[in-house]
Structure 1
Amino acid sequence: MSFVKKTTDIDFGQTPIENIFINDFMPMADGTYVKVYLLGYKYATDRDDNIIVDNNTISKHLNIPLVDVLRAWDFWEKAGIIKKHPKDTNDNNDFTVEFLSLRQLYIDNNYELKNVSNFKSSSNSKEYSCSPDDLIKANKSPEIKNMFYQIDQLMRRQLTINERLVVLEWIYNFNMDTDIIVKAFEYSIEKRKVKSIRYVGGIIRSWYDSGIINLEKLEGHLNSVDKKYIYYDKIFKTLGFNFRQPSKAEKDTMDIWLDEWNFSLDMILKACENSKKTSNPSINYINSILLAWKNDGINTPEEVEIKNQERKNSKAKKISSKIFDKKNKFNDFEQRAVKYSNAELEKILGIKK
């Protein structure tokens, strides 16, 4: 007795990927990082000694900069699913990538109860599971209550009890600020277009593995991977739009400011500050300010201040000119009056007959 599997005339090959990677790690990563991992994994699986591959090979194959390939390996090493082994060369970019068994890592972290800092938030390998009582107690905190309110606004619905328990467990297990949790939902919904608690959880774990547990570190991280997301967020915060995401039309307009008109973020925020003059600021209002600056050739906040000072001086000059004109008119009246003698004035006014 034997077992046979039919093969095709052409060996197309196949690369087996563990479901743990697809379910748990892929959602937390940038698409480019996933491509680098999969192609590198394919090369490792093929093991063809006749083919020499390195990071430059991956860069050319995926048509991406070499620096993105290197960042991808840094990301996956922080996630704990690969190890980089430097070669005996002076080139820091020349290293061997070892792909770790995700199934073995899962067993190590969930059954042998080892302390693996890349995956757990404390020395206890068991994550804390929140109960309904924990949720009731936590909801008495204004900070937690406000967090859930903002999440509900972003999701356009109220979270279920089970979803709220999951969110609360992130705070317990990853020691995350509530602001970071809200930002994870914003990033998932706005950038990735995904309204999934599990997907947001993947983002949270990714940020935690990268040491991102407060807004300051998050801003630096997002600034390196998604600068426009940071720009949108800062512009909307300056305008006071804290509880909604920009529409496609608003993003298109902001992209024009950045990409076509080449305004810096400082200039855009300067225009937002000028919106305080109106009770109903909007993206269109800011657009009119920036368009006027573009037409006037104003490119820096300093030039804006100079222009504003010139307008103030011009306005003051006009006011001074009007006052001067009034005085001249009054002086003209007095000059006409002195043409009469006292006797003539007394006679006109009826003082003497």
Structure 2
Amino acid sequence: MGFVKTTTSIDLGDTPIENIFIDVYMPMANGTFVKVYLLGYKYACDGDPSKNINNITIAKNLNIPLSDVLAAWDFWESKKIIKKISPSEDNEWDYTVEFLNIRQLYIDNNYKSLQALNQETTEEETYSCSTKDLLDANKIPEIKKMFIDINKIINRSLVPNEKMQILEWFHHYNIDPPLVVKAYSYCRHKKNVRNVKYVAGVIRNWYDLNITTMEQLQAHLEKQGERYSLYDRIFKAMGFAYREPSEAEISIMDKWIDTYQFSMEIILKACENCSKTSNPNINYIDGILGDWHKKGIKKIEDLSILTEKKKDTPPEKPSSQKPVRKKTRFHLSESRGSKYEAKELEELLLNRQKNK
């Protein structure tokens, strides 16, 4: 007597993946690195030592180069969620990958954070960004673009120490580069302040208000009735979601709101025309709104009335009168032949020819 269980011809099992990996680690990696991690993790969960699984197997199954597989493990090792064991000196790709428990890592990291808070350490005392960290960060396109955008806002180049402090904000507040750019723009245009410590205070205040994304900041500014949130909405409607307005552009938008007294609904309606031009800019929208202001447009309903008037107005008919030819000094007041009729002129010509 015994107990036997049949198996399926294909693998219909499941592989548990921690939500922390999906929420925290997956967004920071490209698709190939995520696929390598998930397939390797599946093999680890299968736990069948009889299967000869290695990095070449993963490369063949995913139809990618072996170099991509090795690069993926280097990336995940740098994030400290896997560990390479017993790498071979002969074959650099021949090593075992140990998947660390992400839940345990989360607990350990939070426990350390609580200890740091209990010791009441200041931001300067916990400052850990090195020159190497700064050099590595400059290789990331999003970080590099962030520094360039901030330079434009403060009208000078950030010094290395300021850049290192900004990188520390990512560690302390878990924010994205666009939010840092927005914080600098907010301080520059609202408070006329460019100091990195002042900007750090603004970001810290946003963090205390659970604001860590652009969407949360937009909702907060709209709730507070900030004029700055209106600039954001206009720029997003124009397709400039991640560009900060210049002083001249802010002045133009203030004119729409204060001088023309247009509602946001009217302004956003004008911004819809950006799709009709290959090079949308704020002067193009200013021309549209300026024309509407001259015509007395104040509400969306007025635009419908204006459209109906254009339909009802018949097109101008061309004039039936023949244009009067303007005489010049080269025109004689009276033609020599005007006193003769056609038949008389013909007889005169014939007589002249006979006399000749």
Q: Of the two structures, which has the highest relative contact order with CA contacts closer than 8 Å and spacing of 6 or more?
A: 1
**TM-score of the aligned structures, taking structure 1 as reference length:** 0.48
TM-score by length of 2: 0.48
